[in-house]
Amino acid sequence: MEEDIHPDLHKENNRSEERASREELCMKGGRREDSVAGRLLYSIRMFHKQEWDQHLISGYTPGEIRVLMGIKHHIEPDGPGMKVSEISSMMNVTSPTITQFINALESKGLVERVMDAQDRRAVRVQLTEEGNRVVQQTYQNVKNNFNELVDFLGEEDSVKLTELLTKVYHFHEQKRKPNETTSDNE
């Protein structure tokens, strides 16, 4: 008799199972989160758990990669490099934290400290040839990952996702601006 299930009823059963599965995914702390906002929050939290940036290039931490890419992005080709304070400001991290990253990167042969030609007291950080190679490999890995994502999602969904993520960014920018003006006036 199970085989005689009407096709429309079968679809409804599948929808109910899908809905139950989604709701189970949204369980947190022993209670079900039914709201769209709760499900959205859960989806975003899944990205943090996935640690997708851990595997950009083996042997280097995500922080080290971010410092290397920041230096590469913010210096002119054949430029003098960056001061630790400039890197710190760019990344919104304390100078001692950046100094630890620079020490680790220098020991791996990815950056070098050079004396500033204009101010002999200042030290600048530059990428070595190997540092440039690691940055290029990271860019290539990121590009490959996103090309694979586009292949997985398809072009139409990828465009939709891009539009939605851009909207999310603008939403947070708008929310942040009134807070900045309030704290600036205090």
pLDDT tens for the chain, 186 residues long, are 444 444 444 444 555 555 555 545 544 454 556 788 888 888 888 877 666 655 567 788 888 999 999 999 998 877 889 999 999 999 999 999 999 999 999 999 999 999 988 888 889 999 999 999 999 999 998 899 899 999 999 999 999 999 999 999 999 899 888 766 555 555
pTM above the 0.85 mark?
A: no
DSSP element (H, E) containing 54: none
Comparing CA positions, the residue from 98, 107, 109 lying closest to residue 132 is: 109
Q: Where are the alpha helices (DSSP H) in 51-154?
A: 62-74, 84-91, 95-107, 129-153
**Domain ranges, ordered by start, for the chain:** 62-128
Q: Which CATH number fits domain 62-128: 1.10.10.10, 3.40.50.620, 3.40.50.720, 3.90.105.10?
A: 1.10.10.10
Residue environment code for 153-174, b if the CB has 16+ CB neighbours within 10 A, otherwise e: eeeeeeeeeeeeeeeeeeeeee
Which residues on neighbouring strands pair with residue 123, listed in sequence order? 115
Residue 50: both structure tokens together:
């996935």
Q: Tell me the HSE value of 98 on the side-chain side, using a 13 A CA sphere.
A: 22
